[in-house]
C-alpha cells in the first residue's frame, strides 16, 4: 500500500506522522509518498532527511505549482502500489484506522472513505461556521455524485489502483476535493465502504483552507457538470473579461470627465488599466494553481498585454471584414469579441500561465 500525503508547510508534522504510521501498520507493507509544493518551511528537506534512512519514504517536490487535488493525483501516479491511501500530513486524520481500511479493500471494496458523518465519526473541534460550510458543500456535491456517500469531502480515503486508472483522464484536478473528483469521474459503479473516525486537531502548523476553497469548489462543480462542453477556465476568463469592460468604462469616464484628458489618451489608459485588472484577477482566480508572484507577475503581465493586444487586432480585423461583407453590425461585433476572447484565452494559457514561464 502506498500512502500519498500532500504537504504545504508541514515540516513539523512529518516525523510524527511517519512514526505513527509505522506504529499502526506494523509489518504490513507500506510506503509513503509525500507531494510537496515547494513549501518555504522546508517540508521537502524534512521528508528527504527521513527518506535517506527509510526507503519506504519518498518525496515528490513540485515547483511553481499549488493544489491539493493535483498533488494527490501526481503522488498516486508516482507509485506502483495496488492500493493507495490519501491522508493529510497534519495528523487530523486518524492513522490508526488504516489497517481496517486496508481490510475493507481486501474484502472487495473499491474505495474506502474515512467519514466524519456516520455513527462513530465526528468533525471534532470545528466551529459552527466551518461545520455548516462543510454540510452545505456536502449537499451540493449530490449534483455530481452518482452514489450516496456520507462524507464525499473527506481528504482521507483508500482506493484500488484500477479505480484511479479507470478515471484518471477524466479528473478535474481542481481545488481541495480529490475524493469527490474521483467518485464523480468514475464511469463504473463503485463498491464504496465507509469507516467512521474522529477528525482531530492539527498537530503543528496551520490550515491552508481559506475562503478561496469555496471558489475552487465552485470551479470543480462547474467542471464536472458543464465542463464537458466548455472549459471552466474559459468561462472564468470570459466572465472576468466582462467585468473588465466595467473597469474600462469607469476609468475612461474618470479620465475624460475628471482629468479632462483627450479621448485617445483616456482610452489608452482605460485599456491598459483594464488589462492589468484582468490579468490580476485571472492570476488569483482562474489560474490560482499556477499563480505568478514577484518578477514572474510582471513578466506575466507583459505577456498578457502583448497577447491581448494581438487579440484586439484580430477582433477588429475580423469584425471589420464581416461588417464590410454585409454582416449586421451586432453580429460582426460579437464574432470579433468571441474570436478575440478565444485567442486571448488560448495564448495566455500557453504563454502567460504556461509551463515555459516558470
Nearest to 139 by CA among 200, 180, 197: 180
Cα distance between residue 275 and residue 285, in whole Å: 15
The reply on whether position 155 binds ligand GDD by CB under 6 A is yes
Give the end-to-end CA distance of the chain in Å, rounded to a whole number: 34
| Residue whose CB is less far from ligand GDD, 67 or 300 | 67
Burial of 352 (0-12, 13-18, 19+ CB in 10 A): buried
Binding mask 197-216 for ligand GDD (x = CB under 6 A): ----------xxx-------
Among 14, 33, 71, 318, binds ligand GDD (CB under 6 A): 71
The reply on whether position 241 binds ligand GDD by CB under 6 A is no
CB 50 within 8 A of CB 14: yes
| Residue whose CB is less far from ligand GDD, 1 or 14 | 14
The reply on whether position 37 binds ligand GDD by CB under 6 A is yes
The reply on whether position 154 binds Mn ion by CB under 5 A is no
The reply on whether position 110 binds ligand GDD by CB under 6 A is no
Residue nearest to ligand GDD (CB): 155
The minimum distance between CB 290 and Mn ion, in angstroms, equals: 23
Long-range pairs of 52-56 with CB within 8 A, sequence gap ≥ 24: 54/18, 56/30, 56/31, 56/32
The minimum distance between CB 92 and ligand GDD, in angstroms, equals: 5
**Residue 30 binding: pick among Mn ion, ligand GDD, none (C-beta 5-8 Å cut-off by kind):** none
Binding residues for ligand GDD, how many (CB under 6 A)? 24
Question: Grid coordinates representing 344?
Answer: 486571448
- 3-state secondary structure (DSSP) of residue 79: coil
Among 48, 66, 191, 357, binds ligand GDD (CB under 6 A): 66
Nearest to 200 by CA among 40, 17, 355, 327: 17
List interacting residues with Mn ion (CB under 5 A).
Answer: 88, 90, 92
Amino acid at each position: 500500500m502506498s500512502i500519498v500525503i500532500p504537504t504545504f508547510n508541514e515540516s513539523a508534522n512529518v516525523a510524527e506522522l511517519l512514526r505513527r504510521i509505522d506504529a499502526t501498520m506494523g509489518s504490513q507493507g507500506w510506503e509513503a509518498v509525500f507531494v510537496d509544493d515547494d513549501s518555504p518551511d522546508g517540508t521537502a528537506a524534512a521528508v528527504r532527511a527521513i527518506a535517506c534512512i527509510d526507503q519506504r519514504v519518498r518525496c515528490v517536490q513540485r515547483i511553481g505549482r499549488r493544489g491539493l487535488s493535483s498533488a494527490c493525483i501526481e503522488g498516486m501516479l508516482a507509485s506502483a502500489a495496488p492500493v493507495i491511501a490519501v491522508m493529510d500530513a497534519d495528523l487530523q486524520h486518524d492513522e490508526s484506522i488504516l489497517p481496517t481500511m486496508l481490510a475493507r479493500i481486501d474484502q472487495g471494496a473499491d474505495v474506502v472513505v474515512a467519514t466524519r458523518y456516520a455513527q462513530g465519526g465526528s468533525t471534532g473541534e470545528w466551529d459552527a461556521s466551518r461545520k455548516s460550510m462543510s454540510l452545505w458543500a456536502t449537499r451540493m456535491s449530490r449534483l455530481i455524485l452518482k452514489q450516496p456517500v456520507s462524507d464525499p469531502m473527506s481528504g482521507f480515503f483508500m482506493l484500488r489502483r484500477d479505480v484511479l486508472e479507470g478515471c484518471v483522464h477524466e479528473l478535474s484536478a481542481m481545488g481541495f476535493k480529490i475524493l469527490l473528483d474521483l467518485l464523480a469521474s468514475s464511469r463504473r459503479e463503485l463498491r464504496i465502504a465507509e469507516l467512521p473516525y474522529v477528525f482531530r486537531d492539527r498537530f503543528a502548523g496551520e490550515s491552508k483552507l481559506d475562503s478561496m476553497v469555496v471558489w475552487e469548489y465552485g470551479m470543480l462543480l462547474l467542471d464536472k457538470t458543464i465542463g464537458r462542453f466548455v472549459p471552466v477556465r474559459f468561462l472564468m476568463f470570459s466572465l472576468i473579461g466582462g467585468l473588465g469592460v466595467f473597469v474600462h468604462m469607469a476609468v475612461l469616464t474618470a479620465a475624460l470627465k475628471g482629468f479632462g484628458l483627450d479621448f485617445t489618451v483616456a482610452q489608452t489608459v482605460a485599456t491598459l488599466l483594464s488589462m492589468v485588472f484582468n490579468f490580476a484577477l485571472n492570476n488569483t482566480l482562474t489560474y490560482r494553481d499556477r499563480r505568478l508572484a514577484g518578477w514572474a507577475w510582471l513578466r506575466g503581465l507583459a505577456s498578457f498585454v502583448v497577447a491581448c493586444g494581438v487579440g484586439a487586432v484580430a477582433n477588429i480585423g475580423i469584425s471589420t471584414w464581416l461588417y464590410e461583407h454585409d454582416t449586421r453590425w451586432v453580429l460582426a461585433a460579437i464574432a470579433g469579441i468571441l474570436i478575440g476572447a478565444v485567442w486571448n484565452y488560448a495564448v495566455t494559457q500557453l504563454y502567460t500561465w504556461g509551463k515555459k514561464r516558470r
